[in-house]
A and B are shown apart, each in its own frame.
Chain A
Amino acid sequence: MLPRDRRLPLLVTVLAFALPVLFVLVPLAIFLVYSFFGVDQGTIVYTPTLGNYVRFFTDPIFLPVFWNTIVLCVSVAVICILLAYPSAYFLTTLKGRWRYALLMLLLVPLLMSYVIKIYAIRSILGLNGFLNKALVALGILHEPSTLFVFNMNAILLTLSLLLIPFAILPIFLSLERIPQTLLRASDDLGASGLQTFLRITLPLSLPGVASAASFVFVLAIGDFLTPQMVGGISGFTFGRILYSQFGTAYNWPFGAALSVALAIVVICAILIGERFGRNRGTSI
């Protein structure tokens, strides 16, 4: 019997290991195992097979959709970074209370339900929506355009809008961590503002950019709801195929195999993000 005062820490340690194992590793292992099963007449057949993976690589529909989805999500990440970097940079130039008040404002959308946001965005993008009305009123368009809704553009716009907060935060944190002394030293040594930015601020903030990009990419590629709701007929993404395997198709094994493919891409994205993040981070 352990002494009383040592039992609690032990329990905490066991829990600390047990929870991730139970709630993360075990489910992951289960779906990995499922990906090697098959389906016959609507019931799952528990004999190991590679059929699901063979189908993924040989069927002409999956790889192109998979590739298009990756391209789409990379574009979302790029757009998010391009928009988030200036905002985050602007935030760091503010003094004191304003900085955090504005940061909070930028993060407020995260408090809203995801579905409501998609609904709202969709009505903005629609043919009679705010965007079209504004563009027509400004004389930029002659008549409302269907360019913005129910296609890939719509997914790209919506995902970017939804995920920008996830890009702002890491970039802001990495910019904020840059010691002011470095910037002053650069100034003292006669560098212009642009030179200081390009040679000091930008390189030192790249870890934040890398983690922001991987955050956004991972969240975007795992999303099926946004494409489902704004993608219409041409915006068909991998997430939607995956979703259908668990819903209407009732083909869990194949869905699991598709998830494994997705998980591999996600893990790669996280690893790349982390690798860049750490390399630069430690070199300060």
Chain B
Amino acid sequence: MGLKKAFLRLATIGLGIGLMTSAALAANLRVLAWDGYADPDWVKDFTAATGIGVDVVFIGSDDEIWAKIKGSEGQDFDVFAVNTAQLQRYIKADLVSPIDISKLPNQKEVLPRFRDLSQVSGDTKDGKVYGIPFCFDSIGLIYDTDKVKPAPTSMSVLWDPAYKGKILAYDNGEHNFSFTALTLGYKDPFNLNAEQMAAVKAKLVELKRNVLSFYTTADEAQQIYQNNDVALIWANYGQQQVKALQKIGAHVAYINPSEGALAWLDNWVISKGVRDNAAAEKWIDFMLTKKVGGELSERTGFGNTVVESSSAGGNDKLVWLNNVEDPLKRSDLWNEIKATP
């Protein structure tokens, strides 16, 4: 275990450097966010309006957020962005503080589906609010308007033999089990029992026989679309993917399936080590202004929680992504599905 020790030492040194830099900027609000969530002009406006300086650190993955927050037990940052599926893990590890909604006047003005936070799965625990929804996107269905008529309303179109070999699906067991479970009408797509699991697996083997390929990146899907006869794309990258396709002149449209679309939702949360709770609340409230929300959607293509955007209509049913019962099992089954001739 000498190696482990060496790693620990390295981590300690890194932490030391981190602490030194954060000590040097003691007065500022420390924000950890995804690129696009704390643009320089918003930060400038925020500082001008409140007199609070802001230091933003951008992250590239869920694991990185966890490493940064867990590594310092929440002491290195005041506010950070995390999705609903991840949030419960931070609550369990006691890394985040409950948020007093009454300090966030703008939260009362958000879109109806985000108003009652107890209805947003993953944002609350024991009646306390831990996450304030900020940015989301659904995982819907892209269809070629020239080839698919009439417009589809459900993911079940992916199993339609009429489109055999013209479908692009996404190469990820976890999501595929979840959306297929929704299509089969199961209530909780993230917690499947053995019987449901077997049914979903059989259904996915059928799906596999109907698709052209499984893609992993948005670029890849786009390239395949350009070089092949593709009618339907299971859109893991949602709006970004649609816009990129429309930009190259593809005649495509986007729907959220009627049985419910999987969707991710990023939230602002306040860390356990917050130095100035009032400043953190002001930041979150500022992020919920119509101006920031509108610009967020305009710039990133994602949905915001304040003004309507193309990610989802008001009546679309969205199912916030959650941790699944057994990721390893789903991934193993997914391999089995792919290996099935």
Contacts and interface: CB of A to CB of B under 8 A. Distances in A.
Contact of A149 (B172, B214, B228): B228
18 contacts: A64-B339, A122-B223, A122-B227, A123-B226, A123-B227, A126-B224, A126-B227, A126-B228, A146-B165, A146-B228, A228-B171, A231-B213, A234-B341, A236-B338, A241-B339, A244-B334, A248-B331, A250-B331
Given A146-B165, A149-B228, A228-B216, A248 B338 contact: no
Interface of B: 3, 165, 171-174, 208-209, 211-214, 216, 220, 223-224, 226-229, 327-328, 331-332, 334-336, 338-339, 341
A249 interface: yes
Interface of B is mostly: helix
Contact of A61 (B216, B327, B336): B336
A240 B338 contact: yes
A250 B324 CA distance: 14
Interface residues of A, number: 30
A233 B228 contact: no
Contacts of A42: 327-328
Contacts of B172: 248
A233 B172 CA distance: 13
Contacts of A119: 223
A-B residue pairs, 7 tightest by C-beta? A126-B227, A249-B331, A232-B213, A127-B228, A61-B339, A150-B213, A123-B227
A236 B336 CA distance: 10
Interface string A128-151: 110000000000000000100110
A39 interface: yes
A42 B226 CA distance: 38
Given A233-B208, A248-B334, 19 more contacts: A30-B3, A42-B327, A61-B335, A61-B336, A119-B223, A122-B227, A126-B224, A128-B227, A129-B227, A231-B213, A232-B212, A232-B213, A233-B211, A234-B341, A236-B339, A248-B172, A248-B331, A250-B327, A251-B332
A79 interface: no
